[in-house]
Each structure stands twice: as C-alpha cells, then as structure tokens.
Amino acid sequence: MAKTLYTIGYEGRTLDELIGLLRHHTVDCVIDVREIALSRKPGFSKSGLAARLRDEAIDYVHIRQLGSPKLVRERLKRDGDYSTFFLAFQQHLADSLEAIELAYGHVLRRHCCLLCFEKMASYCHRSCVAATLRQRDDGGLKVKHL
C-alpha cells in the first residue's frame, strides 16, 4: 500500500481544529515548511506549536530550507504572479536537495504532514515540496491536502 503524505495550512483554523485533523489522519510528525516559523496567530509560532504537538504525541520538525525565500515571497506580494512564484520556488528546491532528503527520511519512517499558513495548497509552496517528495519517491507517495 502506498504511503500518504499530508499537507495542511492553518489559515482560518484554530489550533484545536488543526490537531483534530492531524489526529484523524494518524499524523505523528509535522514538518513545518515555513522559512520563518513565526505567526501572529496565537499557538502557531515554532516553540508554542512544538510544545502543543508534543503534548499530543506528534513530533515537530522545522525545515527552514523548505520555506519560500523572502525575495520570492516579496515578489509575489508585489506582482501576484503565481506562475513566476512557483518557478522561482522550484529553482530554490532544486538547490535544496539536502533539505529534501531530510524531509524524505521523515516521510519514509513516519506519518507526516507538511505545515504552512496558506489554506489553499494550490496557492502554497508546500504543494511544490510535496510534489518534489513524491518525485523523490518515484511517484509512489500519495499526497493529500487537508
């Protein structure tokens, strides 16, 4: 049976809702793919989120290199061009093979979920990270956006 990698954005969700979804899908490892794991939303910054997940027996891993670089994010804010954003991010991923391997190692051993802010995976770089991990797995990995 193929392994499933989940992705989730916490935009519009409470921490309890997010944890409920993770538990429902038996996720035991969250891979935070934000470059900077800070949030204005209470409970979603790195240390608070890691502590709460730990209380729920869910491991937390922050892989900063899988976040969207500041220059790429800023350009998207200026021009709103998602095609250019995703092309630039794909180039960034091509230069981040060590981070991909680190994430892939977790995915092989655990039930993982990639976490970022953006609610819609189609507008978030985490979909590119998931696709790259799926490609690394020769297409056997299933990806499900929560």
Q: Counting runs of H as helices and runs of E as strands, what totals does the chain give?
A: 6, 5
Class of domain 4-145: alpha beta
Predicted pLDDT of residue 1: 59
DSSP of 21-41 = HHHHTT--EEEE--SS---SS
Contacting residues for 40 by C-beta, under 8 A, at least 6 apart = none
Predicted pLDDT of residue 56: 97
120 dihedral zone (left: phi>0; alpha: psi -120 to 50; beta):
beta
Predicted pLDDT of residue 50: 98
* pLDDT < 50 positions in the chain: none
Predicted pLDDT of residue 17: 97
